[in-house]
Structure 1
Amino acid sequence: MYNARPHQEHDLERLHAQMLETRLAVLVSHGAQGLLATHLPVLVDTTEGEYGTVHGHLARANHQWQDLAQGGEALLVFPGADAYVSPSYYPSKAGAPKVVPTWNYLAVHAYGPVEVIHDAPRLLDIVSRLSDRHEQGRSEPWKVADAPADYIDGMLRAIVGIRLPIARLQGARKLSQNRSATDIQGVRDGLARSPDYLDKQLAAQMRLP
């Protein structure tokens, strides 16, 4: 992705935190069927490999997995909070009116080869761990084992798993770093006052060092 130098994020801990917080990633690939993208929940194992490894699954009817099985590099996009930045947030605008709107955002791109998984035990592990992750905090969390075994067996035959060992990571934290400290404060305050949840979330990120 295009990522100007002031907005580049290289801290691995921060990149992993963004990935772990993202509930729905976007898997992008290019192959015989052209450019394809699928939105899917994933598991990020930060302890496996230099940059981590990502697991997930696709519907078997989603033919993207066939392109992935041919090899080559795929991309997983982990979007974060984003917000419109109005020029009215800049205190400097009063004396320097040559300003235009922009957009602040967080994003991580993870690249790597994809292993396509068909065997039932590994698929069961992926779907079980995904369910356990998203059922956390519920008073009575649902587990895969709660469903009849023959039903789960049938569902597993309808999916394929993916394993993407991350070969490289790109992180973007576009948080008005190209503006003065006064303007950054103005943007942070303006977004914090917004009724929009994502605006407030981005304002909170701007408080980080």
Structure 2
Amino acid sequence: MYMPAHFEENRPEVLHRLIAEQPFGALITHGPNGFDANHLPFEFDAKLVPGGDDAAPAQTHGILRAHVARANPVWQEVAANPETLVIFQGPAAYISPTWYPSKHETHRQVPTYNYMVVHAHGRIVVRDDEAFVRGLVARLTRKMEAGEPVPWKMGDAPADYIAQMLGAIVGLEIEVTRLVGKWKLGQNKEAADRRGAAEALLAQESDGQKAVGQAMLDAPPAF
């Protein structure tokens, strides 16, 4: 990913927060037919996990867990090449040149998009066992259903039906070896232009636009 220094976001707590808030990621793998992309909800365990050998222990950057349909060949294909990338896309918004005060003075501005994104690099391990997928599905369900007036739970469905559904999926666990964050929020713009664009976004109806506008105000400038 192209990464000008002023757009780089390295703070673990910021990267972890975006993954937690935007858990629907794109799993990128490379199999016998080339690159593949699967779009999945992920559980993220941000705790650092020891890795490597005893003499020189390494540290991962957390664990990602997901599941795919047993009919999806990706879980078999990754055995030969477990290196993977998961992309988590945060809020993004179009930026009009008319929102920059300097545009009306010099007309030297162009449209762009501002956005926040995390790339999680890691290695996949296939977890084809009922206990793993049952626990994962239960936790994902609790998180996703938390805002419902009457949250659905696995116990609402017949036990034999749940067993059948769990048998039709396979678990994936990814040891995250590197997290890369890019917060493109106009840090390279003059303060007045950046504020003008941020305030224009905050005045829009979309929650995503408002989120980008607030992030622009919160991010430190490049100069």
TM class by shorter chain equals: over 0.9
Aligned partner of 2:190 in structure 1 is 180
- Counterpart of 1:103 in structure 2 is 113
Q: 1:108, CA displacement in angstroms?
A: 0.3
Kindly state the Cα deviation for residue 43 of structure 1 after the two structures are TM-superposed: 0.4
Corresponding position of 1:166: 176
* CA distance in structure 1 between the aligned counterparts of 2:100 and 2:168, rounded to whole angstroms: 53
Equivalent residue for 1:9?
9
Tell me whether 1:156 sits opposite 2:166 in the alignment: yes
CA distance in 2: counterparts of 1:48 and 1:162, whole angstroms: 18
Using the TM superposition, name which of 160-169 and 49-58 deviates more.
Answer: 49-58
Per-residue deviation, 1:68: 1.6
Say which structure, 1 or 2, has more relative contact order (CA 8 Å, 6+ apart). 1
The residue correspondences of 1:29-178 to structure 2 (distance < 5 A) are 29-49=29-49, 50-178=60-188
Please give the per-residue CA displacement for 1:34-91, whole angstroms capped at 9, x wherever unaligned. 1111111110111142411111100111111122222331111100111111111111
Query: How far apart are the structure 2 equivalents of 1:173 and 1:113?
Result: 25
Shift of 1:194: 2.0
Whole-Å Cα distance in 2 between the matches of residues 60 and 198 of structure 1? 34
Q: Would the aligned equivalents of 1:54 and 1:165 in 2 still touch at CA under 8 Å?
A: yes
* TM-score normalised to structure 2 length: 0.89
Q: Which residue number corresponds to residue 54 of structure 2? A: none
* Local SS of the residue matching 2:186: coil
Contact residue 33 and residue 67 of structure 1 kept, 8 A: no
2:27 is aligned to 27
One-letter code aligned to 2:128: H
What is the DSSP-based 3-state SS (H/G/I as helix, E as strand, rest coil) of the residue aligned with 2:218? coil
Normalised TM-score (structure 1): 0.95
- Contact 2:125 2:174 survives alignment (8 Å): yes
* Structure 1 residues 128-155: Cα deviation after superposition (integer angstroms, max 9, x where no partner): 1111111113232211122222211111
2:64–2:174 CA contact under 8 A, matched in 1: yes
Amino acid at match of 2:212: L
SS at match of 1:114: strand
Q: What secondary structure does 2:80 align onto?
A: coil
Confirm or deny: 8 A CA contact 2:82 2:125 kept in the other structure. Answer: no
For residue 47 of structure 2, what is the amino acid of its counterpart?
Answer: T
Q: Is the 8 A contact 1:175 1:206 kept in 2?
A: yes
Q: Does 1:193 align with 2:193?
A: no
Residues in 2 aligned to 1:128 and 1:25: alpha-carbon distance in whole angstroms = 19
Unaligned runs of 5+ residues in structure 1 are none
Q: Which has the higher mean CA deviation after the structures are superposed, 187-196 or 63-72?
A: 63-72
2:169 and 2:76 mapped to 1: Cα distance?
A: 12
**Count of matched residue positions in the alignment of Structure 1 and Structure 2:** 209
Deviation at 1:191, TM superposition (A): 1.0
Residues 99 and 197 of structure 2 are in contact (CA less than 8 Å); yes or no, is this contact kept in structure 1?
yes
